[in-house]
Amino acid sequence: MRLKDFIGCFIFCACLVLPCFAVNAAGVTNYSSFISADYWVKNNPAGEQVILDAAGVAAYNKRIADKSPSVYDLKAYPQTLAGSTVKGYVSGYDVLNDPLFRLGKEVSQNYKNILIKETNTDKIPAQVNVRYGVTVRRSNLRVLPTNEGLFYYPTDNNFDALQETAVAVSEPLIILHQSANGFFYYVQSYNYRGWISRFDVAVCGRDAWLKYVEPQNFLVVTGQSFNVKVPGESVYCDEGTRLQLVTEGSSIYTVKMPIRAQNGTLQEVNSNVVKNAALHKGYLPYTANNVLRGAFKYYNAPYSWGGAHKGIDDASFIANVYRTMGIFLPRNADEQENTSGSAVKFTGMTSEQRLEAIKKLTPGSCLYMDGYAVMYVGTSSNVPYAIHALATHYTGGVRHTEMRVVVSDLELQRANGGRFLDEFNTAMTFK
């Protein structure tokens, strides 16, 4: 979903010039039991049953890639593309048709033209031979080849119109193009395309790259985040990040980390990390309770559009949690809603029918409305609850700003006054 449409859904534009204060409003709970995975796991006795085994997860990922146009089996990605195809990808910057602001001032058409020139589309050949790379740190994927933020409103500094998503460290990328100044690559990840700083990518051959596409021995980050030291920096890892495992000792893992040589090519260094609860050998078993445990690692984490500034948004929250079990979902909420899985459609249901349908869901299933997603965690006293990365919600037309991962019932309101309960279009169980 485009950021402008997302903002329109919540009518930020009417409120950005007004002071906003975080409110513990009705619907959002800070009740100590409800904000811990322990409560919901305890009340989900069937939640330790494996939903899909390793073979089932692999088959399900194939169904996701087959149904979702934004998700790719990278190892099967073509090694050459028509230049017209790549040019079509790179030219997707309709965002520049809107007024945009930088440092509170509207940017000029000349500024926009400079950004367009940097896309370097005139240099795309008739046939593009793809190259391969690996991220050496968590990095932003952008609409255009710039790290400067542009915003739809002069007082906004949270919702960057050029921010697409964040890409974890050790992620395999397909390099399709380069900016005019050479500072950015246009890349394809397994579920998104965009511009990324070339200084965050190490270029390599296909054989070396395939080891990151399908690592054989690896750790998965199962905490909200984890840091690994490499020469010159401490690398931040999101939940769901895979780290290639070299050896295991009694209290230490040794992992292989990608770094970028001075000439831009891939080098690898070994780094020791202490064994702890934030790391797991291989993927976690796919169970409902493991989904819940992973989700609550994010409780109270900062919301950030597109995952900028080490934050999380509604759809990336869901995708990161499911990655710990080896399930690779589409990046955006509307694409997750329409991917392969067991779907319940709410069209035509009354509020009471919606409630009953939701209470029958497997905890860890996700609920989708236009432009937003939440994760159902269970029902208490006949009231269903969800965990989600929430920017804002409303009460009687009054906006409440959260900008964090919260637990709530489904009585929260959107800007149009509709309750979340009545706004959901689809419930999706990923299996």
Ranges in the chain annotated CATH 3.90.1720.10: 3-54+284-429
**Which of 303, 293, 310 is closest to 377 using CA atoms?**
293
Q: What is the reported pLDDT for 6?
A: 53
CATH class belonging to 218-281: mainly beta
* CA pair distance 220, 3, nearest whole angstrom: 30
Residue 102 belongs to what H/E stretch? strand 101-102
What is the pTM (predicted TM-score) of this model? 0.93
Rounded to the nearest 5 degrees, what angle is found at the Cα of 390, between the Cα atoms of 13 and 360?
Answer: 130
If one looks up domain 3-54+284-429 in CATH, what number appears? 3.90.1720.10
Q: What is the reported pLDDT for 190?
A: 98
345 or 19, which is more confident?
345
Name the pLDDT band for 397 (thresholds 50, 70, 90): confident
Q: What is the reported pLDDT for 11?
A: 37
Mean pLDDT of the 379-408 span:
95
**Domain 73-210 homologous superfamily, CATH:** SH3 Domains (2.30.30.40)
Mean pLDDT of the 198-223 span:
98
Q: What is the reported pLDDT for 3?
A: 58
Per DSSP, the chain holds a count of helices (H) and strands (E) of 11, 27
Task: Give start and end residues of each alpha helix (H) in 179-287.
Answer: 206-213
Model confidence at 20: pLDDT above 70 = no
Q: What is the reported pLDDT for 148?
A: 96
Ranges in the chain annotated CATH 2.30.30.40: 73-210
Mean pLDDT of the 183-212 span:
98
Residue with tokens 């919301």: 303
pLDDT in tens, 333-367: 999 999 999 999 999 999 999 999 999 999 999 99
CB-based contact 401:391 (threshold 8 Å): yes
pLDDT in tens, 264-317: 999 999 999 999 999 999 999 999 999 999 999 999 999 999 999 999 999 999
List C-alpha distances in Å: 234 to 169, 227, 229, 391.
12, 6, 4, 29
Name the pLDDT band for 320 (thresholds 50, 70, 90): very high
Percent of the chain with pLDDT over 90: 93
CB-based contact 338:68 (threshold 8 Å): yes
**Which of 125, 124, 102, 130 is closest to 114 using CA atoms?**
102
Give φ, ψ of 67 to 5 degrees: -95, -30
Tell me the HSE value of 193 on the side-chain side, using a 13 A CA sphere: 20
